[in-house]
Amino acid sequence: MEGGREHDPAVGRLVLAATPLGEVRDASDRLREALSTVDVVAAEDTRRTKTLAKSLGVTIGGRVVSFYDHVEETRIPALVADIASGLTVLLVTDAGMPSVSDPGYRLVAACIDAKLAVTCLPGPSAVTTALALSGLPVERFCFDGFAPRKGGQRRAWFETLVNESRACVFFEAPHRLEDCLADAVAVLGADRRAAVCRELTKTYEEVVRGSLGELAEWAAGGVRGEVTVVLEGAQLTAAEPVDLVDAVEALVESGVGLKDACARAATPGVSKRELYEAVLASRRAV
């Protein structure tokens, strides 16, 4: 277990900062101050960060370095060394919070391992914004990042959500949304409710709410922009082991071992042992 500790403000630190999803006025005063005062700005896209600073009327005072997926690992040692030497490093991504389906997690972990200070400037998040706008019950939710790209893996992932009682929020590329929603209908049924949130906080913001069947039909015309999807949690009823066999077989087909698949698909009313035996019985009956 790791505990927090007081850090000398004169010592270097990593600062994670949320950036606007689209509406520049959502930038916090603390973000403005940080951009102008930190020693190093590590940015997912240096051009976008400089454009953001210009829009905010801020002059970036420190060194700007790129920090995107393909250079993340190679940049970390130097940034950790900068922080250890007493510098303040600001980490920003193109939109939203670093580390949430964006670069950042590895740098945070490296700083924690080196016992360096890490703090955060909170702000915009597509995840919580979409949840709030969805109109669905979201008191409990899970976040699954981007939906799998390949159809088979995506359908197997939807199988894991068949009995998920929490709302699920995930990102999807606009050119894959049609196929994604079609797979959702095939696995979860056309009546499960969802919301597709497009271009959040931007000029053409749009939130389309309805059943998966309705949303799949809407998306068939093509969709543009950044997309976040909120899926209603399952309305659970007492399940029998035989009811979950198809979900297990879909996981096995995607490459998951039988025992692990049973553990994933098991519900509070159906143990993984009962499910394992039901799968074996189903196979013997074929």
Q: What's 90's domain CATH number?
A: 3.40.1010.10
Which among 143, 232, 160 is positioned nearest to 196, based on CA atoms?
A: 232
- For the cut 80, the answer to whether the pLDDT of residue 48 exceeds it is yes
- For the cut 80, the answer to whether the pLDDT of residue 269 exceeds it is no
Residue 186 CA to residue 49 CA, distance in Å, equals 41
pLDDT band at 4 (very low <50, low <70, confident <90, very high): very low
Strands 141-146 and 193-198, sheet pairing? unpaired
Residue 248 lies in a domain: yes
Mean of pLDDT values over 144-173: 95
Residues 160-171 have pLDDT tens digits of 999 899 999 999
Same domain, 133 and 216: yes
- What's the domain range around 148? 127-231
Same domain, 145 and 214: yes
Same domain, 192 and 249: no
Same domain, 40 and 113: yes
Residue ending a domain, among 124, 147, 167, is 124
CATH code for the domain in which residue 148 is found:
3.30.950.10
Q: What is the residue-averaged pLDDT of the chain?
A: 92
Residue 162 lies in a domain: yes
Pick 174 or 236 by higher pLDDT.
174
Residue with tokens 């995107």: 68
- pTM of this structure: 0.77
Residue 46 CA to residue 52 CA, distance in Å, equals 10
Kindly compute the dihedral angle of the four CA atoms of residues 255, 212, 172, 108, in this order, to the nearest 10 degrees: -80
pLDDT band at 90 (very low <50, low <70, confident <90, very high): very high
Residues 229-241 have pLDDT tens digits of 999 999 866 678 8
Question: Which whole-number Å values give the CA distances from 268 to 71, 146, 229, 234, 250, in the listed order?
Answer: 43, 27, 27, 14, 20
Same domain, 17 and 111: yes
Q: What is the pLDDT of residue 10?
A: 52
Same domain, 85 and 29: yes
Which among 196, 207, 191 is positioned nearest to 169, based on CA atoms?
A: 196
Same domain, 81 and 155: no
Residue 8 lies in a domain: no
Highest mean pLDDT pick, 41-50, 95-104, 231-240: 41-50
Q: What is the pLDDT of residue 177?
A: 97
Question: Which whole-number Å values give the CA distances from 149 to 77, 170, 174, 283, in the listed order?
Answer: 32, 13, 12, 30
What is the total count of domains within the chain? 3
Q: Is the dihedral of CA 171, 173, 174, 179 positive or negative?
A: negative
Which among 21, 43, 24 is positioned nearest to 227, based on CA atoms?
A: 21
Pick 64 or 266 by higher pLDDT.
64
Pick 269 or 17 by higher pLDDT.
17
